[in-house]
Amino acid sequence: MPKQIVYKHKLATRWFHWLNFPLLAIMIWSGLLIYWANDIYEIRIFGITIFKFFPEVIYQWFNAAFRLADGMAWHFAFMWLFTINGGLYVLYTWVSGEWRDLLPNRRSFGEAWQVVLHDLRLRKTKPDQGKYNAAQRVAYSAIIVMGFGSIVTGLAIYKPVQLAWLMWLCGGYETARLLHFALTVGYVLFFGIHIGQVALAGWNNFRAMVAGFEVVDKPAPPPGNSPAERAAKTAAS
Amino acid sequence: MTNNDDVQKISRRKTLKAFASFFALLGGGAAGLQWLASQPLDGGIRGGIPQPLRQALDQNEKIFRPLYSPEHLVQEYPKSAAAAEPRVNGDVGLDEATFDAATWQLNVLKKNGNQVSFSLADLKKLPKVEVVHNFKCIEGWSQISWWGGARLADFLAHYGLHEEAQMNHLGLMTPDEGYYVGIDMPSALHPQTLLCYELNGQPLPPAHGYPLRLIIPVKYGVKSLKRIGTMYFDNERLPDYWTERGYDYYIGL
């Protein structure tokens, strides 16, 4: 089968993506150091604690105990880089027109479900897709909305008096903190699924996120138009 | 076939190049973070965290300080919403063994080097202001609490500390000198900043800083020093217990 090189991800997209990864990781890690100082959240069903954020072993793993000052210093320095990188990504995606591949359209939400069923091996066929499938469109757009949410709720907790209107918009000080935390849990879940999907999609797909291109089968030329067929036609006449 | 060999050759070359750059950048980034984490800690008044991060915190102050306005009041609540027994979170600076309530007075070091002293009665001569606000701890918890006392701004104005109020920073220290804070003057002069002698309408309990403490709702609780012994002023930042331990000096909410 003839192969060809197809360019998939622009250099800018790859830079934004791979800068965001360590920046978000630092924000989550420093956020954990901050959260440790008042770790009140848990999942409770009928009064029974199902999961406490976080079990001691997690704090030990990240050496998070008694490091509130450290956490705040890193968090409030790297928030700028995280915000700037995210902002430039959105600006780039908008100006370059790449949003057309990324934003969910009318069909995406229904189709995303079909993609999930397919990926769970519950459905044989997959809906047609462009650069990104419907589930990817939904996920990669949602993650941007989440990032925006983290910045807004973060600002609300950071300046609850001077930006009191923002705090109010976020449902109050405590609610803003809870939302900020919940969004972070969302990133961790996203990360888990993302890594799993990348592993399943294989090398060609992963390489595209680093090198920008994929090696794919060349589409077959329209029937009756290949050089051999034309030669055969000429010979017959 | 030759075509596919070409594709493979080009692909291999491009892949190698891309991954070499990728790992070089990854290594560079990791080295940069390691460098940052291993930078010397600032000593003394700016201690506790790597110098570049301290500089970032100081830059943040410059960026966000224009948001500050004395007209931005902290939201107030009905007294019924206040906690009956507000949380006690620290006892640094509250050495009861060396403290004598009978001889306590508030000592103010004036700009000219003189010291003036005030009794609790002197403070109670000023209009009593009550603030019921959501007290915010730097640890992340908050609690609605009800405080009463004199406005710090009223105190400075009434007792002729005008020159002092023009300086950039105000400092407070406990009688045992165990705890001390430095505060930028605009925040100290905020209308809800109190020299506070009442909690829930009663005299302050010892654990909340009897006889006089600061309540400054535009800052995290660490700046609301309990049991004020001495008040002083400077145009430079003043010593701050938690800033020396790596926290931001400004921490304006």
Domain ranges of chain A: 3-220
CB A68 to CB B218 under 8 A?
A: no
| C-alpha distances out from residue A29 to A79, A158, A181, B51, B85, Å | 12, 18, 12, 20, 34
| Confidence at residue A102, expressed as pLDDT on a 0 to 100 scale | 86
Over residues B73-102, the mean pLDDT reads 92
Tell me the chain A residues in contact with residue B4 when contact means C-beta distances shorter than 8 Å: 2-3
Residue A221, pLDDT > 60, answer yes
What part of A 143-182 touches B (C-beta under 8 Å)?
159-164, 173-174, 177
Give me the CATH code for the B44-85+98-245 domain, please. Answer: 3.90.420.10
User: Is the dihedral angle over the CA atoms A17, A21, A24, A26 positive or is it negative?
Assistant: negative
The domain A3-220 having CATH identifier 3.30.300.30: the answer here is: no
Cα–Cα distance measured from residue A38 to residue A68, given in angstroms and rounded to the nearest whole number: 10
Q: Contact at 8 Å (CB) between A65 and A71? A: no
Over residues A158-163, the mean pLDDT reads 96
- For residue range A52-103, list pLDDT tens digits in order: 999 999 999 998 888 899 999 999 999 999 999 999 999 999 999 988 888 8
Put simply, whether A212 touches B (Cβ < 8 Å) is: yes
The shortest CB-CB distance from B139 to any of A37, A173, A212 is to: A37
Q: Of A38-47, A132-141, B103-112, B120-129, where does mean pLDDT reach its minimum?
A: A132-141
The shortest CB-CB distance from A215 to any of B11, B69, B138 is to: B11
Residue A230, pLDDT > 70, answer no
B interface test, pick of A38, A161, A177, A213 with most B CB neighbours within 10 Å? A161
Over residues B16-32, the mean pLDDT reads 94
Put simply, whether A3 touches B (Cβ < 8 Å) is: yes
Q: Of A17-21, A130-134, A135-139, B122-126, where does mean pLDDT reach its minimum?
A: A130-134
> Considering chain B, what percentage of its residues have pLDDT values greater than 70?
97
The Cα of A49 is separated from the nearest Cα of chain B by a number of Å equal to 20
CB B18 to CB A207 under 8 A?
A: yes
Cα–Cα distance measured from residue A19 to residue A87, given in angstroms and rounded to the nearest whole number: 12
| Confidence at residue A218, expressed as pLDDT on a 0 to 100 scale | 84
Find the helix or strand (DSSP H, E) in which B8 lies: helix B2-37
CB A177 to CB B140 under 8 A?
A: yes
| Confidence at residue B46, expressed as pLDDT on a 0 to 100 scale | 47
Q: At what angle do helices A203-211 and A173-201 cross, to 10 degrees?
A: 120
What are the beta bridge partners of residue A217?
A: A3
The Cα of B134 is separated from the nearest Cα of chain A by a number of Å equal to 9
The Cα of A199 is separated from the nearest Cα of chain B by a number of Å equal to 17
| CA angle (A147, A199, A183) in 5-degree steps | 20
The Cα of B120 is separated from the nearest Cα of chain A by a number of Å equal to 30
Q: Write the burial class of residue A189 (CB in 10 Å: 0-12 exposed, 13-18 middle, 19+ buried).
A: exposed
| Confidence at residue A123, expressed as pLDDT on a 0 to 100 scale | 80
A interface test, pick of B5, B10, B15 with most A CB neighbours within 10 Å? B15
Among B148, B158, B150, B147, smallest CA distance to B123 is for B150
| Confidence at residue B96, expressed as pLDDT on a 0 to 100 scale | 85
